[in-house]
Amino acid sequence: MRKLFLGVNALFGGAILTLIIAAGALLLLMATTPEAGVRKEGLFGGVFFSSTTSPSGSIGMSLGISSWTSIATVWLICSLFIFAVILVVARLRRYRASLIAQSSS
């Protein structure tokens, strides 16, 4: 039951981390697009940013998700990494507790 709870926490943590990474990728795409009329993709093709110039001179932009597969892959990798970190921290805490128990006896 505890590992299931840790797994759910890792999935939520991976989702939050993926959202942060995707937002950062979009901001990077916006900052590195020098001219209008260009479509750029980032995060392994998962997110896109495109800007267009209208005849009146105004600039329009659109952004979004272009590939759910790459977003899901990043989410899975982030979730597995967070789950591994949680397991390592739990094991180190148990090891520390055993060392404290040995030193007190």
Q: With a cut of 80, say whether residue 23 has pLDDT above it.
A: yes
Q: Which residue has the higher pLDDT, 15 or 54?
A: 15
pTM score of the predicted model: 0.82
- Average pLDDT of span 37-41: 88
Q: With a cut of 80, say whether residue 31 has pLDDT above it.
A: yes
- Average pLDDT of span 38-48: 92
What is the DSSP annotation of 35-95?
A: SSS-EEEETTTTEEEEEEE-TTS-EEEEEEES-HHHHHHHHHHHHHHHHHHHHHHHHHHHH
Mean pLDDT estimate for the chain: 92
Contacting residues for 98 by C-beta, under 8 A, at least 6 apart: none
* pLDDT cut 90: percent of the chain above it: 70
